[in-house]
Amino acid sequence: MGNGPLSGVKVLEFAGIGPGPFCGMLLADMGAEVIRIDRKGGRGGSKYDISSRGKKSIALDLKNPKPSSLHQAHRSATSAEVPHADEPLLV
Nearest CA to 29 among 45, 12, 51, 59? 51
Domains assigned to the chain: 10-85 (3.40.50.10540)
Q: With contact defined as beta carbons under 8 Å apart, do 43 and 57 qualify?
A: no
Dist CA 81 CA 7 (whole Å): 12
With a CB cutoff of 8 Å and minimum separation 6, the contacts of 29 are 2, 4, 53, 54
CB atoms within 10 A of CB 54: 18
Strand partners, 55: 34
91 residues of the chain, pLDDT tens digit each: 568 999 988 888 876 777 888 888 999 999 999 988 887 776 655 667 788 888 888 887 777 766 666 666 666 666 666 655 555 444 4
